[in-house]
Copies of this chain bind each other. A is one copy, B any other.
């Protein structure tokens, strides 16, 4: 186990914390670029409360509205242009994962001098990560992505139908204001997707990481158990603030690095899903719910003992003399049943996706990221044919 790790983001967590936005933003300047999504924050009053908090602290706001799901490079460029034109001192993201990812990319794009798409990872193109960004404050309105407390962003290039990512130290938010009250109006399906999203962040590291990380394993199991305990309560009753808080805290920890540190894991399920949502604009976590169980069945063939442990420790499968293979199968079945029980799709057909482009998905995925030998970094590494097999298994 070898790693260098740092996460300098401060987190202000709890019901009512939105009121701290102004004071926090005021630390960084007098004018904020306020990045929002499709408009739900305006309908439910969150936008007005955010503005009020900023105003009370003497911070004016210029809005960049309309960040779409699977946010686009053109949106990032639009936001960066507003920030430059208006002389913004700080970028505030008020929304879900897409809004936060776009806001982070905007904050860096303000100073970026290369070709914009070069800011995002590519195995076959140019990749020049950003080295400077405006201060970023994240205010998530959805428990899912973990983007509020990490240094990553996922952006879609609509011209090339590529969806890629960037991680860079300058993209760590200065502060994440995580207020579970802001999530009580999230509808059932989005709540369920969020639970799936956070669990998938954890399963990726748990199954694809190096050996010899027993503490991280326990942490990963703890996050998944917490999400499986509290997620269904948040889906059943959106106004259950306690459930909303527990799910949101789990979603933060699922991708702020505490669980993944030192695991050096690939993210094959995410990478495959990114291609699907680049082509079809499906909800990211709905895509994850479809791909993950099929991927697990594929990967369990190589390493049944790992999936048997998952079955025992997380899904409560009792061994009673079962082989690793049988225990692993039972665990994955239970996991898939859990996803269905909260309302997630688990088949591509439910997303309106057929097998017409399956080879293209595999090839696009490998174009974004491969290990130099033509395989997707994962455990085991995945060839084009492996990706096709996993997708066929999810039809």
CB distance from A222 to the nearest CB of B (A): 3
Copies in the complex: 2
- Contact string against B for A residues 1-16, beta-carbon threshold 8 Å, 1 for contact and 0 otherwise: 1111111111111110
Contact at A218–B225, with CB atoms within 8 Å? yes
* A321 close to chain B: CB less than 8 A: no
B13 close to A249 (CB less than 8 A):
no
Residue A214, interface by CB 8 Å? yes
Do B4 and A10 touch (CB < 8 A)?
A: yes
Interface residues of A in 242-285 (CB under 8 A from B): 242, 245-246, 249-250, 253, 258, 262
- Contact indicator A226/B249 (Cβ below 8 Å): no
Which residue of B13, B219, B225 contacts A1 across the interface (Cβ within 8 Å)?
B13
- Complex partner residue of A13 from B3, B13, B225, B229, CB under 8 angstroms: B3
Quick one: which of A5, A17, A215 has the most chain B CB within 10 A? A215
Contact with B along A201-235 (1 / 0, CB 8 A): 00000000000101100110111011001100000
Interface residues of A in 1-52 (CB under 8 A from B): 1-15, 17
Tell me how far the C-beta of A172 lies from the nearest C-beta in chain B, rounded to whole angstroms: 10
Which residues of B have CB within 8 Å of A245?
1, 212
Near B by CB (< 8 A), chain A positions 163-190 give none
- Give the distance to chain B from A86, nearest Cβ to Cβ, in Å: 29
A9-B6, A13-B262 known; A214-B1 Cβ under 8 A: no
Residues of B within 8 A of A4 (CB): 10-13
Categorize the interface residue count of chain A. 35 or more
CA distance A42 to B365 in the complex (A): 53
Instruction: Report the nearest B residue to A224, measured CB to CB.
Output: B218
Among residues 111 to 145 in chain A, which have CB atoms less than 8 Å away from a CB atom of chain B?
none
Q: Which residues of B contact A6 (CB under 8 A)?
A: 8-11
Check A246–B12 contact: CB distance below 8 A.
Answer: no
Instruction: Decide yes or no: A226 and B246 within 8 Å by CB, A1-B13, A3-B13 being known contacts.
Output: no
**Contact present for A229 and B250 (CB under 8 Å):** no
Q: Which 8 A-B pairs have the closest CB atoms?
A: A218-B222, A2-B14, A6-B10, A8-B8, A215-B226, A4-B12, A5-B11, A214-B226
**Closest Cβ–Cβ distance, residue A305 to chain B (whole Å):** 17
State the Cβ distance, A252 to closest chain B Cβ, in Å: 10
With A and B bound together, what is the CA distance between A93 and B229 in angstroms?
43
Report the separation of the CA atoms of residues A246 and B213 in the bound assembly, to the nearest whole angstrom: 8
Contacts of A218 in B (CB 8 A): 218-219, 221-223, 225-226
Q: How far is the CA of A65 from the CA of B10 in the complex (A)?
A: 35
**B residues less than 8 Å from A2 (CB atoms):** 13-15, 17
| Bound-state Cα–Cα, A242 to B213, Å | 10
A221 to B222, CA, bound (A): 9
Tell me, rounded to whole Å, the shortest Cβ–Cβ distance linking A310 to chain B.
15
